[in-house]
C-alpha cells in the first residue's frame, strides 16, 4: 500500500495565561511529537482517554488548525507549503465527520442547501448536475428525496449523522477523519453507521482516521490502531496484534475494560487521573498511574521499540524483557 498521509514529529502547544508578570510562560502540550503513516485504503484507529490529543491530531492532519512544529505530508507533498489555491483544491480530498452532527450542520438551512454548499464552494457542475449529485449522495447514505427540504432539528441522531457523512463524501474525497462519529448514537444505530462507512470505503477507496474511545468498535472497524496518552503515541500495531498481545500497560488497561462474555477478570484499575499536560511527569508520562512502574520509569523517557513487524510500543518493561533475553 502507498502512503497517503505522513505526519512527522507534529506538535501542538497552547500558551497558558500567566497569573502574574513574574511567572514563566507555560504551555499545554496537546500533541507532543507524534509520527504516523496512513496508507491508502486503510482504516486507522486512534484511541485513548478524553484529553489525550486524539481530536487535535485529526484536526491538525486536515489543517483545521496549524501545528506548532512538525511536518504533515499528503501524497509526499508538505501541506504547509500549499498556496491558498492549492489548499482549497486539497480540501476537496480531505473531509471530517464530527461527533455531534447537530452542532456541525447549519440548523437554519435545509438538507439540500447543506449538501449543495460544498459543490457550490468548489464550483462543481451546474444546477442540474448538483441536484442529481445531491439525490445520488443521499441514496448512498440511506436517505431518500423526502429529506431534501427538512431541517437538521427534524431528523433523528442517526439521520443527522448520515447527512453529515453525505456532506463529507459529496466531493468524493480520498481521506476522511471520523472524530467520535458514532459515540453519541444508540448501539443499533452505531452498527448501521459503521456498516455504511465500510460500504463507502469500498466504493470510494477511502482512507479513514477513526478517532474513538470505544475499543469494541475500533477493533471491528480498523486495520491498525495507535494508542495515545498525554499527546504521545505509546503503542501502535495491527488491530489483531494489539488486541491479542497489548504490550504497553496503558493499552492493557484499556483492553481489560472491554466487557466480554465469560470474562471473569476485573479490569485493570489505573491510579489517579491524567496529569496536567502543561507540567507532565518526568521520565515516562504514564508512570504515576502505571501498576508496573519502577525506578527507571521515573527518571528516563522510554524509547519506542519494535516488538514484531508493524507492532511497536514505548515502555521500559519491553526494554527490560529484551535485556533479560540477551
- Give yes or no for residue 23 having a pLDDT over 90: no
Segment 24-45 mean pLDDT:
92
Q: What is the pLDDT of residues 88-132, one digit of tens each?
A: 999 999 999 998 887 889 999 999 999 999 999 999 999 999 999
DSSP 257-312: TS--TT--SPPPPPPS-PPPTTSPPSSSTTTTT-TT--HHHHHSPPPEEEEETTEE
Which residues have a Cβ under 8 Å from the Cβ of 96 and sit 6 or more positions away?
58, 59, 62, 64, 168, 176, 177, 178, 179
Task: For the domain covering 3-93+171-325, report its CATH number.
Answer: 3.40.50.300
- Give yes or no for residue 216 having a pLDDT over 60: yes
Question: What confidence score (pLDDT) does residue 270 get?
Answer: 80
Reported confidence tier of residue 162, pLDDT bands at 50, 70, 90: very high
Q: What is the pLDDT of residues 252-274, one digit of tens each?
A: 999 887 766 555 566 777 877 78
Question: What confidence score (pLDDT) does residue 324 get?
Answer: 67
The crossing angle, in degrees rounded to 10, of helices 157-169 and 187-204 is 10
Reported confidence tier of residue 25, pLDDT bands at 50, 70, 90: confident
Cell (9 digits) for 283: 521520565
CATH 3.40.50.300 intervals, the chain: 3-93+171-325
C-alpha distances (whole Å) from 75 to each of 6, 166, 291 are 8, 25, 41
CA angle 181-311-267, nearest 5°? 60
DSSP label at residue 107: T
Amino acid at each position: 500500500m502507498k502512503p497517503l498521509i505522513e505526519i512527522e514529529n507534529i506538535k501542538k502547544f497552547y500558551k497558558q495565561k500567566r497569573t502574574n508578570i513574574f511567572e514563566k510562560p507555560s504551555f499545554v502540550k496537546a500533541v507532543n511529537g507524534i509520527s504516523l503513516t496512513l496508507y491508502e485504503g486503510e482504516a486507522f484507529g486512534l484511541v485513548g482517554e478524553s484529553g489525550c490529543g486524539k481530536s487535535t491530531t485529526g484536526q491538525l492532519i486536515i489543517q483545521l488548525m496549524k501545528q506548532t512544529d512538525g511536518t504533515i505530508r499528503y501524497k509526499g507533498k508538505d501541506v504547509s507549503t500549499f498556496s491558498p489555491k492549492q489548499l482549497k483544491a486539497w480540501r476537496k480530498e480531505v473531509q471530517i465527520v464530527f461527533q455531534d452532527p447537530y452542532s456541525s450542520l447549519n440548523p437554519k438551512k435545509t438538507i439540500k442547501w447543506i449538501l449543495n454548499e460544498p459543490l457550490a464552494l468548489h464550483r462543481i457542475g451546474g444546477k442540474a448536475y448538483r441536484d442529481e449529485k445531491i439525490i445520488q449522495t443521499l441514496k448512498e447514505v440511506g436517505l431518500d428525496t423526502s429529506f431534501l427540504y427538512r431541517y437538521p432539528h427534524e431528523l433523528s441522531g442517526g439521520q443527522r449523522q448520515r447527512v453529515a457523512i453525505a456532506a463529507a463524501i459529496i466531493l468524493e474525497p480520498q481521506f476522511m477523519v471520523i472524530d467520535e462519529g458514532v459515540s453519541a448514537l444508540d448501539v443499533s444505530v452505531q452498527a448501521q453507521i459503521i456498516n455504511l462507512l465500510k460500504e463507502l470505503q469500498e466504493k470510494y477507496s477511502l482512507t479513514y482516521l477513526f478517532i474513538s474511545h470505544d475499543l469494541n468498535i475500533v477493533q471491528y472497524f480498523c486495520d491498525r490502531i495507535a494508542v495515545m496518552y498525554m499527546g504521545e503515541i505509546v503503542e501502535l500495531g495491527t488491530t489483531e496484534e494489539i488486541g491479542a498481545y497489548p504490550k504497553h500497560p496503558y493499552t492493557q488497561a484499556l483492553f481489560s475494560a472491554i466487557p466480554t462474555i465469560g470474562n471473569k477478570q476485573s479490569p485493570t484499575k489505573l491510579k489517579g487521573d491524567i496529569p496536567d499536560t502543561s507540567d507532565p511527569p518526568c521520565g515516562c508520562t504514564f508512570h504515576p498511574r502505571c501498576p508496573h512502574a519502577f525506578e527507571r520509569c521515573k527518571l528516563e523517557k522510554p524509547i519506542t521499540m519494535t516488538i514484531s513487524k508493524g507492532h511497536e510500543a514505548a515502555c521500559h518493561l519491553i526494554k527490560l524483557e529484551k535485556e533479560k533475553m540477551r
